[in-house]
Every structure is written in structure tokens, then in C-alpha cells.
Chain A
Amino acid sequence: MDFGLSPEQRMFQESLGRHLAEASPLEVVRQARQPSFDPNRLVPGLAALGVAGLLVPEAHGGLGLGVLDAALAAEMLGRAAAPAPFVAAFVMAPLALALAGSPEQQAALLPKIAEGRLRVGAAFAEQVAARADAGVEVVQGRLSGRALFVLDFAADAYLVASRDGGLWWVEAGASGLERIPFSTIDTTRRVGELRLAATPAEPLPGASPAVLRRIIDAGRVVLAGDTLGAAQHMLEAAVDYAKTREQFGRPIGSFQAVKHMCAEMAASLEPCRAFLWYAAHAQDALPEEAALQAAHLKAHVAEVGTRLAKTATEVHGGMGFTDLLGLHHWFKRIAWNRQMLGSPEQCRREAARLRGLAA
């Protein structure tokens, strides 16, 4: 029995953290909002560390690791608020190809993903919570319709889930494909809409409801990991600020109101770490619990993260509200993660269904 990270996993987190401290300091986080910023700028560095190939099987040039390792990487990316693709490009896409791709698709695509040369977006929002006029239909082997909130939008190709539960590979330059980028409060990650009009697409032959479920669940766990890291950053920033900022001749952290805000943040966040490990491990090794754990984790970490992001901002006073300090990037990262791939309410509804408590 050993419920914890291996020395290799801890070293991997540390080296990724060091890399991001250099490659993605606050100036880079800020630059991500500029139109000239290349959203894939950090990808070569991440690929060199193995982050792009974490979930790519070794036979295809990756590391062949699990969702737990992906969640640990996400934690570090969230901690740095790194403006880089991850959840779709390096988690959902390789997982989809590994689970449902044909041998030819795997051989052609997975090595390029691991090398960071092929960036893939993921269109799954309609599988989680479909909006009235969105959804993708298959007509004679071509795709038509709208896919909203496509993750890691600045991509070379997209994995699109169709209404009938199919999975499709769509090249960014395919005919009849229109790409409409969205602006969200979080400028560190790209989302948008795909409009498809009889767009040619290649099916992944192994697609099934169970495969879609696993891909979405892995995405949820990874977004929770991102929130954990972002919230940890905000907590540490607040605690440091509380130790150094003085008012009334004392550090504000000696005022109990502030001290208790910090304690509440820490007490609610720290269990999220073990929860993340457990739920991520469930994706890799406990199939009967995997979906329920992913739903509960996504909801719980979103609630804790949202509250923490507010409190940590308050500890900084007016400075917390400024662009100058930049803390808001982490606040927004947490808010973004909360809504993607299932809001807390949505995830809890699903958890209730998985528990057999609701239809």
C-alpha cells in the first residue's frame, strides 16, 4: 500500500515547475493576451520535457504514462498559469487515439503529438451539456453543425465528437470548416467554435460511449489538477503577502481575520491534492469508480478553487484587484476551469446518476 507520488513523479513535477518558472514568468502570462502571441510558443519546451507525450504509448514515441501523471503536469501548468495547450492537445487527443484510433491513425498521428509537432483541439462540449443549436451531425460520412467551446483551439486538427457518439478527425484546413475564436476572461488558453458544413472527416473506428466517457473524465481530472495548481499559487501569494504587508504597525497576517482566511484556504485546498491523486489513479486503475470520482473531483475542486480565488484576492486588498499584480490571471484560470467540461452542478447531477440516485 502506497498512496502517494513516486520519486520520479515528484522529480517530474519539480523539473516542469523549474522549466515553467523560466519559460512562463508573469511577463509571458501577460503577453498571451496580445494578438501577436503564438499560443503554441511553449509547446517545444514542454515536448522536450515529455509533457506532450505523457499519454502517448511508448511504441509511438511517448512515455506511456497515465492520467495521474497528466494531472500532475496540469497542476504545474495551472500553478504557472502557463499559456499553453494541454487538456485537449496532450491529454484528450492522445487518449482518444490510443483508445479508439486505427493502427494506421495511431502510427501516423501519435508520434507527431509526442514531438509537439501536431497540436489537436477537442470538440466535446456537446457531449457534456449540449446547447440548443449546437451539435455535429454525420451525413454520408461528412460532418455538419456547430461545435462550441472547442478546447486548445489554436490547433492543426480537431477531434470532434458527433451527436451519435462517433469520434472524428478533422484537419484545420478541411473544406467547409469555419473557425471562430472566442474571447474568454482567461487569456492564457484558447477556445472557440467550429462551424462545419459537409466537412470531410476521418472516423476513429473504436469510438463508443465508454471511450467518450473516459476521454471526458480524463479531461475533467486534468482541469481539476490545473485548478489545484492555480489555487496553490494564489494561496502562497496570499500567505507571503500577509507576512510582509504591514498596516497598523503589524504584518496583516497577524490579524486574525486575515490569518483565518489563510487557514480556511489551506484547510479546504490541501485535501484536494489527495483527492486529485485518488481520482486520477482511478482513471488509470479503478475503472468501476473512475467516472464517479472524476465528476466529484471536478465539482469539488471547482468549488474550493472559486472560493479560494476570491479570498486570496481579498487578502491582497486593492492590489489584488489590479492588473499590475497580475493575480487575476490565476483567478480567471480557475473560473475558466470551473465551467469547461461540466460545471459543478452538471458534474454533481452526473455523480447522482452514476450513484443510481437520479434518472
Chain B
Amino acid sequence: MDLSLSPRHQAFREEVRRFLAEHGHKAPRGHRGDHVAWQKLLIEHGYAARFIPREYGGYGAPPDILEARIIAEEFGRAQVSPGLQGQGVSMLVPTLLEVGTEEQKRRFIPPTLTGEMIWCQGYSEPQAGSDLASLRTSAVLDGDHWVVNGQKIWTSTAREADWMFALVRTEPEAPKHEGISFLLIDMRTPGIEVRPLVDMTMEANFNEVFFTDVRVPKENIVGRRGEGWRIANLVLRHERGSLADPNAMMARLLALIDLMKAERVDGRRAIDDPVLLDRLMRIEGRVQALRANDLRLLSAKVNPDHGDPRVGLAGLLVKLETTELRHELEGLAVDAMGEFGILYDRSPELRAGGTWVRSWMYYLGLIIGGGTSQIQKNIIAERGLGLPREPRTARP
């Protein structure tokens, strides 16, 4: 047990702090500000895309998990945007680095890193949600092109996106997990129609995407035909890790404490209500547990010969536990405000722009998205505890 950092890492932390003190004011806040300029500045200094090779537009430092952690911690502490976190950067880039061709890496990674090429993830379909492998959108080879027909749904940021990474069925005769391929689709191709879907926050964060004879160049397949399921699972691993950062949760908890100090009912601050305070402390205890769990996972990555047999289980539970806890944390803020908690939109008397109640709803979405809590429990029970697998139904 040794939580100290090496002198090199301590110096690195100082370096990050100096950068933040000097440049932090330029960071975009929320939707405002120049995200691309900020992202480029971060890459130039090595605080975004740090470990991605220079030839693909990254900073090119040798991989160092602790450096990545220090950057995340310091940006979180300073409440400065750590740069792009979208599905392109967090999911597609790692996938291309692992299985993309040289040509694909050079073409797609650099503009994705700077935010000049925005991606959406086209996996889910109306009939294929939790049972993703039953997806039907088809791609048929016609000369030098794949011809895509079908429909995706729940596609976040499809309207803003320049490109989609999609799962399509290319081998209709193969068993369902072996007939899927991973395709990169230009969203400006004729035959694509995007229809916004309003979610419960009343924003249109996701969409339906329809494909009618959409022609995609043959070389836009990632990996080989029929390998899409395996490749998608590489990406899902990245997604599940990125949904839930306990350091972000801690920052949110501190904001909740500020809120509970400011909010008064009958002349009493919310924080002085013993029931609310107990709920707050209960959540803080759970946040502490998940932070320690996160430290354990980090340490196991840094020290490959950690000899920690249960660390796999410690990783499987993260998506379930963090999204559920975050939803509760945001919900406590709503309760602490009482009637004011449910004010929304542009209402008079709105607190903090309505962000608490929006975030409370948004995290319900994250409990469902990226593999529902029930699916997470299946995974924990089957892979983590060795309980019998779900009986599989007949192949489509």
C-alpha cells in the first residue's frame, strides 16, 4: 500500500496546475466557447490525446495511466473542461487504433481528435436494444460499395455528426453474432434521413436514422466481414469505463453541498435538516466507496502483477453502481429544493438553470443506455459470479 506519487509524477502534476492557472480561463463552459480551439490547445500541450501517436494527430507521449489520472484530477479540481469526451474520441479512436487500417487511422483519427469530425454511434435498432446482436440493418456488397438499408434508433448526436460508426448485418446466413460488420458511414451520403427524438429532458438528444440504398465505399469497413460483434465489444468496454468517473461524481457532490447550504425552508438551511443531511452523508459514503474501487482498478492497471484475484468483478460493477448512484445524487438536490426542485425550462425562480432536475433525468437515461442496469446485473452474475447463463432463444 503506497499512495505516493513518484517525483516525476509529482512534477507532472505541478506542470498541469501551471497550465491550468495560465490557460484555464480560455476553456469553453457548457455549450459556449470555442471547443475546437480549446481542444487543439490541449493536444498541443499534451493534455488531450496525450498517448495517441503524433502521426495520427496526438501528442505522442508513451502511455502512462497515472499521467492520465493526474490530468483528469487536476482538470476536475479546477472545474475546467478536459476537452472532447464524445463517442468519437472515447470509442471510435481506441477502436481504430486497435483494429483500423493505416489508411483509416490517418484519415479519421486526426480530425476526430480536434473535434472537426463529429461521430455518432449507430448500434441500437427498434428491434435490437439489449439484444443488440439481433440487429437487422443490412449492408450488401455491390461492386465497390456497401448498400445499406434499415433503421437505427436512439442515436445520440446524429444531427451534429459528420460520420457514424455502425453495426450492420453483412452475412445474413451466418449465426447472429458472426454476421455483423463494423462500418464507417458519411452522414452526408444520399439516402440517410435523421429524425430527432425528444427525450424526457425535452431536448432532442437522440434520433432515429433511416437508411435507404445508402452507398458506402467498400474500404470503410473496420476489421473483416463478420468481425463487427467482436470489434463492438472492444468499444463497449471503453464506453462502460467512460460513463462514470468517480472524480466527476465527487465534484458534483461538492456542488450539492453548496446548494444545500444555500437553500432555505422555513428559515432553515437544507443542510441543517437532519434527514437531508443523513441522505447526503449516505451518498458521500457511497461515493467514497466507488472512489476507492476506482483507485483499486487504476492500481491494477499500473501494476500488472497486482495479484488481486477479484479485480475483474470490481470492474464489472462500475457502470451499474455509478449511474445508479449519480441518479440518486442528482435526485437529492431536487428533494433539497422541494417545489423549486422541479422548476424547469425558463421558469422564474429557476435554480442553477434547472441543471439538477435535468441531470437527474439525464442519468436515468444513462442507467438505460450503454447496457441497462438489468443487463449489467446479468453480466455481473454470469461473468463475475459464474451463475448459469440466460437460455438463448432461437437464432433469427
Interface of A with B (CB < 8 Å)? 1-7, 10, 68, 239, 242-243, 250-251, 253-254, 256, 259-260, 262-264, 266-268, 270-275, 277-279, 281, 285-286, 293, 296-297, 299-300, 303, 344-345, 348-349, 351-352, 355, 357-358
| A272 and B321 contact, CB distance less than 8 A | no
CA of A278 to CA of B2, assembled, Å: 10
- Enumerate the 6 nearest inter-chain pairs by beta-carbon distance, A residue then B residue, closest first: A263-B377, A348-B281, A274-B292, A3-B299, A300-B285, A267-B317
Residues A277 and B1 in contact, CB atoms below 8 Å apart: yes
Residues of B274-305 contacting chain A, CB below 8 A: 274, 277-278, 280-282, 284-286, 288-293, 295-296, 298-300, 302-303
B378 CB within 8 Å of chain A: yes
| CB–CB B289/A263 < 8 A | no
Contacts of A299 in B (CB 8 A): 281-282, 285
B388 near A253 (CB under 8 angstroms)?
yes
Q: Are A270 and B310 in contact (CB under 8 A)?
A: yes
How near does chain A come to B11, taking the closest CB pair, in angstroms? 15
B356-377 interface code vs A (CB 8 A; 1 in, 0 out): 0000000000000000001011
Interface residue SS majority, chain A: helix
Query: By the criterion CB–CB under 8 Å, are A1 and B299 in contact?
Result: yes
Distance in Å from the Cβ of A266 to the closest Cβ of chain B? 6
- Contact between chains at B1 and A1 (CB < 8 Å): no
Q: Is the pair B3, A357 in contact by a Cβ cutoff of 8 Å? A: no
- 29 A-B contact pairs sorted by A residue (CB < 8 Å): A1-B4, A1-B6, A2-B1, A4-B299, A4-B303, A4-B308, A7-B307, A239-B385, A253-B388, A256-B390, A259-B382, A259-B388, A263-B320, A263-B378, A263-B385, A266-B384, A270-B310, A270-B314, A271-B289, A271-B314, A275-B289, A275-B292, A277-B292, A278-B288, A285-B1, A345-B278, A349-B278, A349-B281, A351-B284
Inter-chain contacts of B306 with A (CB < 8 A): 2, 4
The residue that B385 contacts in the complex, of A1, A7, A256, A266, with Cβ under 8 A, is A266
Whole-angstrom distance between the alpha carbons of A4 and B299 in the complex?
A: 7
List, in ascending order, chain A residues with CB within 8 A of B390's CB: 254, 256
Tell me if A274 and B282 are in contact (CB < 8 A).
Answer: no
Separation of A279 and B285 alpha carbons in the complex (Å) = 11
A352 to B273 CA separation, bound complex (whole angstroms)? 12
Measured CB to CB, the closest approach of chain B to A4, in angstroms, equals 5
Q: CA separation between A300 and B289, bound complex, in Å?
A: 8
Tell me which residues across on chain B come within 8 A of A259, comparing CB atoms. 377-378, 381-382, 387-388
Residues of chain A within 8 A (CB-CB) of B257 are: 357
B143 at the interface (CB under 8 A from A): no
Contact of B377 among A4, A68, A264, A358 (CB under 8 A): A264
In the complex, what residues of A have CB within 8 A of residue B282's CB?
299-300, 303, 344, 348
Residues of B within 8 A of A243 (CB): 386-388
